């Protein structure tokens, strides 16, 4: 009776669900399981690695595989590419550059980018539309020392969001989500009442330790980020 790695993952998953193996327990070794399921060890390995990636198991060489003490569920989200997201909903995407200037980064920005010296950065503000309604307000800082060909790009047509996601690589990044009350400027630009609750997404990226860009995206009420578990 030969098994597929998906089948084995499913069976192990069931044992975890049913409490046959409880949090903190050491489960049988790959060798033992490959014997039980009558398959190669590599197949068991594939299944267990998959469950470990999801955070249900913790594996250590020699120490064996144990059920995660606090099985923290993990969820994958797709980071929106604004144009694609709008067009996927059948609306026409439009983009408006509000501001583009070169200036010293304020404190909070250089902190977010982990900049030592207050470098001269490119600051961009832009609005993204879905049809005629504002979809997202973008506030971005770019490090011109790291981004090649930046001066060639006139951000009145291509959005910085798109340009950077498509062309500029990064090796590390941080992403955080939260909520923020709209201020007067937000309210006017996004065409919503003041005090509305905005969905906020912050992303910063680095290339080999050098800060590339940091951006805040603000979405008007009603926007949701969804995924399946």
Partner DNA sequence: TAGAATATATTGTCTATACATATTCCAAGT
Partner DNA sequence: ACTTGGAATATGTATAGACAATATATTCTA
Sites of contact with DNA (CB under 7 A):
2-7, 29-31, 38-43, 45-46, 48-49, 52, 59-65
Q: Of the two residues 101 and 178, which places its CB atom closer to a second copy in the complex?
A: 178
Work out what residue 184 binds among DNA, a second copy, none; the CB cut-off runs from 5 to 8 Å by kind. Answer: none
Assigned token pair, 166: 């498509």
Nearer to DNA, 52 or 146 (CB): 52
Q: Which residues bind a second copy (CB under 8 A)?
A: 17-19, 23, 55, 70-81, 84, 165-167, 169-170, 172-182, 195-200, 203, 205, 219, 221-229
Place of tokens 């192990």: 12
Nearer to DNA, 3 or 110 (CB): 3
Closer residue to a second copy (CB): 181 or 188: 181
Instruction: State how far the alpha carbon of 135 is from the alpha carbons of 71, 81, 166, 187, 228, in Å.
Output: 36, 12, 20, 12, 23
d(CA 96, CA 189): 11
CA atoms within 13 A on the CB side of 82: 28
The minimum distance between CB 118 and a second copy, in angstroms, equals 25
Rg (CA), the chain: 24
Q: Which of a second copy, DNA, none does 177 bind, CB closer than 5 to 8 A by kind?
A: a second copy
Q: Which does 226 bind (CB under 5 to 8 A by kind): DNA, a second copy, none?
A: a second copy
Question: Which candidate, 127, 147, 145, 146, places its Cα nearest to that of 137?
Answer: 127
Q: Residue 61 binds which one of a second copy, DNA, none, with CB within 5 to 8 A depending on kind?
A: DNA
Minimal distance in Å, beta carbon 103 to DNA? Answer: 45
Q: What is the DSSP string of 128-161?
A: EEETTEEEEEEEEEE-TTTSTT-TT--TTTS-HH
Q: State the binding partner of 43 from DNA, a second copy, none, CB within 5 to 8 A by kind.
A: DNA
107 binds, among a second copy, DNA, none (CB under 5 to 8 A by kind): none
Sign of CA dihedral 10, 15, 21, 23: positive
Q: How far is CA 80 from CA 13, 55, 181, 217, 228, in A?
A: 31, 24, 21, 10, 16
Nearer to DNA (CB atom), residue 53 or residue 174: 53
Give whichever of 5 and 141 is closer to DNA, judged by the CB atom.
Answer: 5
């Amino acid at each position: 009776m030969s098994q597929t790695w998906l089948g084995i993952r499913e069976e192990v998953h069931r044992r975890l669900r049913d409490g046959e193996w409880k949090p903190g327990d050491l489960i049988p070794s790959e060798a033992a399981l490959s014997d039980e399921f009558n398959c190669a060890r590599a197949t068991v390995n594939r299944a267990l690695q998959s469950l470990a990636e999801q955070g249900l198991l913790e594996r250590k060489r020699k120490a064996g595989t144990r059920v995660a003490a606090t099985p923290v569920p993990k969820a994958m989200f797709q980071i929106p590419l604004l144009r694609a997201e709008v067009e996927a909903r059948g609306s026409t995407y439009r983009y408006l550059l509000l501001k583009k200037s070169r200036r010293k980064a304020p404190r909070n920005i250089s902190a977010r980018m982990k900049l030592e010296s207050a470098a001269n950065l490119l600051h961009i503000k832009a609005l993204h539309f879905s049809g005629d309604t504002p979809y997202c307000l973008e506030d971005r800082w770019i490090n011109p020392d790291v981004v090649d060909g930046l001066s060639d790009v006139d951000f009145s047509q291509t959005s910085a969001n798109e340009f950077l996601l498509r062309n500029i690589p990064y090796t590390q990044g941080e992403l955080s989500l939260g909520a923020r009350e709209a201020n007067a400027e937000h309210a006017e630009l996004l065409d919503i009442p003041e005090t509305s609750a905005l969905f906020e997404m912050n992303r910063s990226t680095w290339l080999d330790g050098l800060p590339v860009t940091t951006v805040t995206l603000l979405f008007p009420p009603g926007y949701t980020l969804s995924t399946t578990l």
